[in-house]
Structure 1
Amino acid sequence: MNTQPAALLYNFNDPERLRQIRRYLNRQKVKTRIITAPEFLHPLGYLFEIPGIQPSSRFNLGSNFTDEMIVLNDFSSEQMDGFLAFFRENQIPSVALKAMLTPVTQHWSSIQLHNELSREHTLMHKK
């Protein structure tokens, strides 16, 4: 089954930067969705509309983050390389927290993924 690549975007506060990213993804036929704090507890698989993954029944009462984050699904390695090159070629600051959806992370909430990516980012950039 060939599915359409998709991207979840979080906390992009610079409208011009967001416009450039969305325009690139749209040209690449990537389904794009902006995720807001009330959706942060839903499983990533639900946000990507993966059949069989149900929404969280919990309400998000303050478990939020403000960092930019991108989660990608069904990107080939060529598409991923192209997306990363787009940032470099257009001198757009990179997004520190980015991930590909996996069979494990599809069951995680956005908050769980954010916490893990933040931890990894901190470890990788310690001097």
Structure 2
Amino acid sequence: MTPTVLLYNLSGTDAGRKLKPVLLKLRIRIRIVERESYLETIGHLAGIEGMEASGQEYKEEGFSDPMMIMCGFSGELLDLLLAQMRKSAVPLIPLKAMLTPHNMFWNSLALHDELTKEHEAMKTARQNKK
């Protein structure tokens, strides 16, 4: 699979402007996910063979948080991307995930909810350590 990043709500933002050249330099395919596609599986959005489109169009407001899903990455490419993001001063994108055999069947709304819960739990844990 060609390394691909699914990007949500980053168009026109500082993070989006700084992230795009990093992804292009590393030859990572960029897929901007629009709200209408939030009901499609992550696997379909990532271009996984055999993951058919549901054909459902999401018509509600959805979420506005920036989110980034990395698909088809080796550990080495992930490390390189994160290092280049830091070097290029890409603003923090708290909701990030790797495509997994489990979450590839989820839609964007379900993955967003899960990542939001994980982020809040980690934030709470950090605050409790202080």
Please indicate, yes or no, whether the TM-score normalized by the shorter chain is above 0.5: yes
Residue 104, structure 1, aligned to residue 102, structure 2: yes
Q: 1:15 to 1:124 in 2, by over 3 A?
A: closer
Corresponding residue for 1:91?
Answer: 89
RMSD in angstroms over aligned alpha carbons? Answer: 1.5
Residue 121, structure 1, aligned to residue 124, structure 2: no
- Unaligned segments of structure 1, at least 5 residues: none
How high is the sequence identity, in percent, across the aligned residues?
34
SS where residue 84 of structure 1 aligns? helix
How many residues get paired?
A: 125
CA distance in 1, matches of 2:82, 2:7: 15
Q: 1:55 to 1:15 in 2, by over 3 A?
A: same
Among residues 69, 72, 76, which one is paired with 2:70 in the alignment? 72
- TM-score, normalising length: structure 1: 0.90
- TM-score, normalising length: structure 2: 0.88
Report the Cα offset of residue 9 of structure 1. 0.4
Deviations 1:14-63 (A, max 9, x none): 44432321111111111111111000110011111111111124331315
CA distance in 2, matches of 1:106, 1:36: 17
Report the Cα offset of residue 91 of structure 1. 2.3
Is the CA contact (8 Å cut-off) linking 1:70 and 1:97 kept in structure 2? yes
Corresponding residue for 1:40?
Answer: 38
CA distance in 2, matches of 1:31, 1:5: 6
Is the CA contact (8 Å cut-off) linking 1:63 and 1:111 kept in structure 2? no
